[in-house]
Amino acid sequence: MDAETLFSQLEFNTGQFPEDVLNDAIDQWTSIAPLLLEELRSAAADPVALLSKGEDYIRYVYAMYLLAQFREAAAYPLLVDFVATPGEIVMELAGDVVTEDLGRMLASVSHGNPGPIKRLIEDPEVNEWVRSAALDALLVLFGKGQLDRDAIMGYLGKLFLLKIERKPSYVWSAMVNAACDLYPEELVEEIQQAYDRGLVDPNDVSFPEVEEILKLGKEKTLEDTLKYQKGLIGNVIDETGWWACFREYEEEDGRTWTRLRQRMIFTRQQSKRLCGRDPRSAAMIFVPAGAARNTRNAACTGIDSFIETETHLGQVICVDEFANLRHEVRTQGEISRLGRIKAQLFKNIVFGHFCHW
């Protein structure tokens, strides 16, 4: 197939993952790249128009992943313009993509230039989840050796003191998490003041958790951050092929999978302490509808009576009552495998979010 044909076949989600089409797009990258850049340019120019194309329209998402995979520098300003759209429209169009992978995408096409990323962070008109993803991008650049820790910590200090509007939002929680991931010793006073002023939601990350990170030590904290970080965007097939929207589901015994509710949520820092792993890279987990936006750091959740999740030091125990199976999860690989199994059992693309932190 030529590039134009491949491009047209990526337009809508048919329920089947287009692995062959994406492989051909990768093989014909030089030919299809201009079309994907134009797709992203159109999305940035008129994101409202994407909504009118229906919920199955997905080509702009493939464009984001493919351009990031190939480190396409020309995509950087287009991606920034698209996600800088004020309000909730970006989340309507790409909610889980924003919370899961936007930071990695921005880092992938930035080639070490943090300027546009910083403008997203500092712009009060930009959606708070986009701004938090932009903060994640700085950490990805740190992990790849393109930004050093001191530079990021100095920048975070300016954010705490000067550059972020003084009203509660998830941006403040994301700033605290970013500081914790890099070891927050220089910013303890600024972080404490943010809590005192009610700017940080302690349900996202609490000050005692910050103190736990300080006790952990700088060397161990940075080691964990580098160990658990997902890094730059990889092959689009690996990044998106497991998504629940490409799975077919069957109801059994007349049951409908609507009984989704949150059982427990641990923040990012709690998960590191209790589970010995960072939830962003450790597991594919179920989060009830809306929780991925409202509690960005969810690490362990359960689903009604079908799945219960208990957390103990060093391990996660998942109890699947529907299958009468008790599965003790002790490694990252086991968590991923279990997550993929659950994705096939629940209509989570409709009733909830399937998150890979």
What does the pLDDT look like over 21-40, one tens digit per residue?
Answer: 999 999 999 999 999 999 99
257 and 220 within one domain: no
Contact 329, 320 (CB under 8 A): no
148 and 181 within one domain: yes
| Residue 36 placed within a domain | yes
Contact 182, 153 (CB under 8 A): yes
Which domain, by its residues, includes 123?
3-228
CA gap 309, 302 in Å, rounded: 5
pLDDT of residue 247: 65
257 and 217 within one domain: no
Is residue 352 scored above 70 in pLDDT? no
* Structure confidence at residue 344 as a pLDDT band (50, 70, 90): very low
Going by the DSSP 8-state scheme, the letter that residue 303 receives in this structure is: B
32 and 167 within one domain: yes
* Structure confidence at residue 248 as a pLDDT band (50, 70, 90): low
- Half-sphere exposure of residue 287, counting CA atoms within 13 Å on the CB side? 26
Segment 253-276 shows an average pLDDT of 38
Is residue 350 scored above 70 in pLDDT? no
CA gap 139, 204 in Å, rounded: 18
38 and 163 within one domain: yes
Tokens of 288: 């009830």
| Residue 237 placed within a domain | no
| Residue 240 placed within a domain | no
Report the number of distinct structural domains present in the chain: 2
Contact 336, 329 (CB under 8 A): no
324 and 214 within one domain: no
pLDDT of residue 234: 97
176 and 87 within one domain: yes
166 and 47 within one domain: yes
Asked whether the whole model's pTM tops 0.95, one would answer no
pLDDT of residue 316: 32
Is residue 217 scored above 80 in pLDDT? yes
CA gap 277, 229 in Å, rounded: 10
Contact 3, 21 (CB under 8 A): no
220 and 254 within one domain: no
Q: Which range is least confidently modeled, 28-37, 267-276, 321-330? A: 321-330
Q: Using a pLDDT cut of 90, give the percent of the chain over it.
A: 63
Is residue 297 scored above 80 in pLDDT? no
Q: Which residue has the higher pLDDT, 176 or 352?
A: 176
CA gap 281, 321 in Å, rounded: 26
16 and 147 within one domain: yes
175 SS3 class: helix
Q: Which residue has the higher pLDDT, 213 or 1?
A: 213
CA gap 347, 265 in Å, rounded: 21
129 and 26 within one domain: yes
CA gap 99, 133 in Å, rounded: 6
* Structure confidence at residue 332 as a pLDDT band (50, 70, 90): very low
Q: Which residue has the higher pLDDT, 311 or 212?
A: 212
pLDDT of residue 242: 86
Q: Which range is least confidently modeled, 46-50, 152-156, 222-226, 303-307? A: 303-307
Q: Round the average pLDDT of the chain to a whole number and report it.
A: 76
Q: Using a pLDDT cut of 70, give the percent of the chain over it.
A: 69
Q: Name which of 226, 218, 147 is nearest 184 in CA terms.
A: 218
